[in-house]
Amino acid sequence: MDKGKLLDRLGVLGDDRLVLAKVLDRAEQTRSRNVPSATDFLTPQQQMLAQDLLRLAGVGEMDYVRLGGYDGAERNLLLFLPDWLEAEDAADQSPIRCLRATFRAEEKLSHRDFLGSLMGMGIVREKLGDILVGPDSADLIVLESVADFLRQSWDSAGRVKLTLTEIEAKHLHIPEVKCQEVRDTVSSLRLDAVASTGFRMARGKAAELITSGRVQVNWRECTKPDKLLAAGDTVSARGFGKFELTEVGGTTRKGRTSIVLKRYV
């Protein structure tokens, strides 16, 4: 099946279609030339779409690895493996580099400050992985194609001066993920019922949010309020954050199901 038909079968449009076409190009490059080939950084949703697309194209999950600079990275690239490269050695062939931008703690820079500064320099988002912001530094995971340019040219975010150095991935400062545990009972494990608790809104409003196309389940868009969730599912919504359904318990005397959510704050 040619590339266009594969993309049509997956039903992707717009920017995601262009991104996924490049994913197929990288897979074909590795297959035809027997060399490692990496995509740009992908969002979690694009990673799931790419996984579905590659499965349709006959590319197995043993033929590539996800790399984001550290375990648990949100933005990852796919590195396709030639037959001479094992998955455990893939990091040695990775185009990922890590930079640390230090600043005075009293300046209190945010993720938005760094991303805005980089976009202002013409760095497109797909060349950037996660941006890990701490009290007096931010660690950036970037592609090697922009790393040297940034080291030579990037010295400020807004009016705040930065000092930029390259670091090894093992020295990344990974912020602690802040979560809130929520225990509740729901009438069912329908997406709208659980999202009502997870996003702290009325069930009807949660259903409207879902049908509007703003909700993803495990990084895939879901517009069906009646979709049944299971323990381990992650639900996110643009503008409302993300939560994970960590536990599904028993049924109460009133027929409701007890659940435990991990809400990211």
State yes or no: pLDDT of 54 exceeds 70: yes
Q: HEC states along the chain?
A: CCHHHHHHHHCCCHHHHHHHHHHHHHHHHHHHHCCCEECCCECHHHHHHHHHHHHHCCCCHHHEEEECCCCCCCCEEEEECCCCCCHHHHHHHCCEEEEEEECCHHHCCCHHHHHHHHHHCCCCHHHEEEEEECCCEEEEEEEHHHHHHHHHHCCEECCEECEEEEECHHHCCCCCCCEEEEEEEECCCEHHHHHHHHCCCCHHHHHHHHHCCCEEECCEECCCCCCECCCCCEEEECCCEEEEEEEEEEECCCCCEEEEEEEEC
Question: What is the arithmetic mean of pLDDT over 8-14?
Answer: 87
Question: What is the arithmetic mean of pLDDT over 88-108?
Answer: 95
CATH topology classification for 3-90: Ribosomal Protein S8; Chain: A, domain 1 (3.30.1370)
Residue 262's φ and ψ, nearest 5 degrees, are -110, 105
Say how far apart CA 68 and CA 56 lie, in whole Å: 24
User: Each residue of 129-138: pLDDT tens digit?
Assistant: 999 999 999 9
**Which of the four pLDDT bands, split at 50, 70 and 90, describes residue 1?**
low
Percent of all residues in the chain with a pLDDT value above 70, rounded to a whole number = 100
45: nearest Cα among 80, 68, 76, 69: 76
Question: What is the arithmetic mean of pLDDT over 103-125?
Answer: 96
Domain 96-171 CATH superfamily: RRM (RNA recognition motif) domain (3.30.70.330)
pLDDT of residue 176: 87
pLDDT of residue 170: 95
pLDDT of residue 177: 84
Q: Which residues contact 93 (CB under 8 A, 6 or more apart)?
A: 36, 79, 85
pLDDT of residue 208: 97
pLDDT of residue 169: 96
Which tokens belong to 214?
A: 């703003």
Domain 179-264 CATH superfamily: RNA-binding S4 domain (3.10.290.10)
Which tokens belong to 76?
A: 């990852």
pLDDT of residue 2: 84
Question: What is the arithmetic mean of pLDDT over 47-63?
Answer: 95
The CB density around residue 201, as the number of other CB atoms within 10 Å, is 16
State yes or no: pLDDT of 88 exceeds 70: yes
Q: Is there a shared CATH topology between the 3-90 domain and the 96-171 domain?
A: no
pLDDT of residue 242: 96
Q: Where are the domains of the chain?
A: 3-90, 96-171, 179-264
User: Each residue of 138-191: pLDDT tens digit?
Assistant: 999 999 999 999 999 999 999 999 999 999 999 999 988 889 999 999 999 999
State yes or no: pLDDT of 12 exceeds 90: no
Q: Chain-wide mean pLDDT for the chain?
A: 95
For 47-77, b/e burial (b = at least 16 CB within 10 A) is bbbbbbbbeebebeeebbbbbbbbeebebbb
pTM of the model: 0.87
pLDDT of residue 238: 87
